[in-house]
Amino acid sequence: MTILTSLLGTKALGILIFLWQEAATSPAAAPAGDSTPQFTIVEMMKHLTAVGLGVVIILLIMSVYSIAIMVERFLTYRAAKQQSREFAPRVAQALKNDRIEEAINITDKHRRSHLAVVVNSGLQEFRAHEQSSDISGDEIEASKRALQRAIAIKTAEFRRGLSGLATIGSTAPFVGLFGTVFGIIGAFQGMKNAESAGIAAVAGGISEALFTTALGLVVAVPAVWLFNYFSSKVDGFVIEMDNSASELIDYFLKNRSRQLKP
């Protein structure tokens, strides 16, 4: 898909350069006293056709949606990291002293921490069997499954919205390229209908093609960057949850071994 985008973008850019050169070398390109069109944002917006305007609106909607995801995910990940830093030493101290209820209460106060969610799930399952005289291997396995389910659910929550960023990052250039194609078509039509092939004849089509292409890249590039960044953050969170689950299982096994000692 990336290669196809590059090929299509190269061809479209080549056509734009050809049109620009033809207009610039034309005798009527810049007659004395005439003002040539200025390729500013305002001028480009003025020359947009209905198709070009539709492409711009779609890209702006995609941009707003991606920004909303970026902000929401950033705040979610930051809160999870901060609460986990506060949670880890407190629950570790409680478990070291075999205070299960206190550890569960600590997890209830750090609901935005991914570690607290996982540890709470394991402790709740472990507490359900703690009153029995012996903690069997099946009960340990039940705690493991509870931890795995909690990790899977929390991982899915962390990845929520990232597929939208990936979709925007991969499709925004094609949406912009769609506007580029129609801009080139408009430029050729302008050259055909005008009496002379001056820059004014192709200015509207060129401006539309350039504007939609640039806007598509502006929308896509940050989305791809933030998708990769957030994906790496989620991978780090998954590793932390796996480590916490392993440490909690070790604690359960040590607790069981103490009960088995005569």
Tokens of 163: 């597929």
Confidence of residue 72 (pLDDT cuts 50, 70, 90): very high
From residue 96, alpha-carbon distances to 110, 136, 138, 201, 254 in Å are 19, 21, 24, 79, 11
What pLDDT is attached to residue 66? Answer: 94
CA distance 234 to 77: 8
Overall average pLDDT of the 153-182 stretch? 91
Higher pLDDT, 19 or 162: 162
Higher pLDDT, 103 or 2: 103
pLDDT above 90: residue 55: no
Lowest mean pLDDT among 88-102, 127-141, 170-184: 127-141
What does DSSP assign to residue 97?
T
126-160 pLDDT tens trace: 776 655 545 566 777 888 888 899 999 999 999 99
3-state secondary structure of 45: helix
What pLDDT is attached to residue 218? Answer: 92
pLDDT above 60: residue 38: no
What pLDDT is attached to residue 232? Answer: 95
Confidence of residue 169 (pLDDT cuts 50, 70, 90): very high
Is the C-alpha dihedral spanning 127, 131, 134, 136 positive or negative?
A: negative
Lowest mean pLDDT among 21-35, 43-57, 196-210, 237-251: 21-35
Backbone angles phi, psi at 66, to 5 degrees: -65, -40
Distance of CA 142 to the CA centre of its chain: 35
Residue 248: how many other CB atoms lie within 10 Å: 23
Tokens of 226: 């933030």
Query: Measuring CA to CA, which residue among 100, 106, 141 is closest to residue 124?
Result: 100
What pLDDT is attached to residue 1? Answer: 43
Tokens of 87: 């949670």
What pLDDT is attached to residue 108? Answer: 87
Lowest mean pLDDT among 6-20, 69-83, 116-130, 199-213: 6-20
What does DSSP assign to residue 170?
H
Query: Measuring CA to CA, which residue among 198, 191, 261 is closest to residue 30?
Result: 198
Confidence of residue 197 (pLDDT cuts 50, 70, 90): low
From residue 135, alpha-carbon distances to 10, 114, 240, 262 in Å are 67, 27, 27, 15
CB 187 within 8 A of CB 210: no
Mean pLDDT of all residues in the chain? 77
Query: Measuring CA to CA, which residue among 85, 55, 100, 21 is closest to residue 213?
Result: 55
203-249 pLDDT tens trace: 666 777 778 888 899 999 999 999 999 999 999 999 999 998 888 88
From residue 174, alpha-carbon distances to 1, 4, 8, 40, 82 in Å are 10, 10, 9, 23, 39
